[in-house]
Amino acid sequence: MYWYNSTADEIEQGNADIAILPIGSTEQHGPHLPIATDYLIASAFGEKIAKKLGAFLLPALPISTCLEHRGKKGSVWIKPATFMNTVTDIVKCLKDQGFKKIVFLNCHGGNFSLGPAVRELNASNPDMKVIILDFEKFFPQMLEKKLLECKDNLHACEYETSLMLYLHSQLVRKEKIEDCIPSISREYLNYDSIFKYSKNGVWGMPSLASAEKGEKIFNLIVKGSVDYISRAFDYFEGQSSACHEAERK
């Protein structure tokens, strides 16, 4: 792995073909988790996944779009258009240096503008590929394997709290853990701040969290991410097929 602790010469000599950009956020995470939660989780996943792929790892973005958390000091966001321009500029810079495979590790659920940005980047740059990995795609597996007990894991929840207990237990204010599952669905965050629906800024049941769950969740996501990234780039290079021929009887 080559990363921000490497020298420019080491990165040049390493000639990695994949660049990974973890994306976090700086936002309130209830009374028990630090505002750096998404950033810290993104950084940990980025380092582990980059090592397994031999990729070039960029520092995690600490600020993205989190308007839904306005209402308490400490949450910092940029506009969706600014965010799209930021990731676009980063990708273009990487392309100019010869990287043709870019991976966004999205560790904040509010970055909805990331999808359109990636579509535009791929459409206007046919000689490279940019893919997104949103870890929510692994939630069904976590529930099936009983790594998560609560189905409502949206914010400062069993999922995030378990990861933080595993990665940075000293930062979790265990005595302040409070559950809250609002009686509305996720799209309501497009209409108002989370504090309209949850007084403590939590959406889920962090009381169910544990470091043991966090370790298992972390390993599951790392393995699933490496498999997904490898499979996606193999497909783009024509080494696999998207369709399976139906079995003829």
More confident site: 241 or 121: 121
- For range 128-133, the mean pLDDT: 96
- Per-residue pLDDT band for 223 (boundaries 50, 70, 90) equals very high
DSSP 190: G
Does residue 246 have a pLDDT over 60? no
Instruction: Report pLDDT digits (tens) over 141-196.
Output: 999 999 999 999 999 999 999 999 999 999 999 999 999 999 999 999 999 999 99
Per-residue pLDDT averaged across 75-88, rounded? 97
* Percentage of the residues of the chain whose pLDDT score is greater than 90: 92
Alpha helical stretches, state H, the chain: 8-14, 37-53, 80-96, 114-124, 139-144, 158-167, 211-236
pLDDT for the residue numbered 4: 86
**Model confidence at 249: pLDDT above 80:** no
Q: Assign a CATH topology to domain 2-236.
A: Rossmann fold (3.40.50)
Give the tens place of pLDDT for each residue, 19-56.
999 999 999 999 999 999 999 999 999 999 999 999 99
pLDDT given for residue 240 in this prediction: 57
Question: Alpha-carbon torsion 29, 89, 8, 225, what sign?
Answer: positive
The label of the residue with tokens 């949850």 reads: 198
Q: Which pLDDT band, with edges at 50, 70 and 90, does 238 fall under?
A: confident
**Structure-model confidence comparison of residues 157 and 236, the more confident one:** 157
Q: Which candidate, 143, 84, 74, 80, places its Cα nearest to that of 118?
A: 84
3-state secondary structure of 105: strand
Q: What is the pTM of this model?
A: 0.94
Q: Hey, what are 224's tokens? A: 């699933």
Q: What residues are paired with 103 via a beta bridge?
A: 20, 131
Render pLDDT for 66-75 as a digit per residue (tens, 0 to 9).
999 999 999 9
> Average pLDDT of the chain?
94
> What does the pLDDT read at residue 134?
94
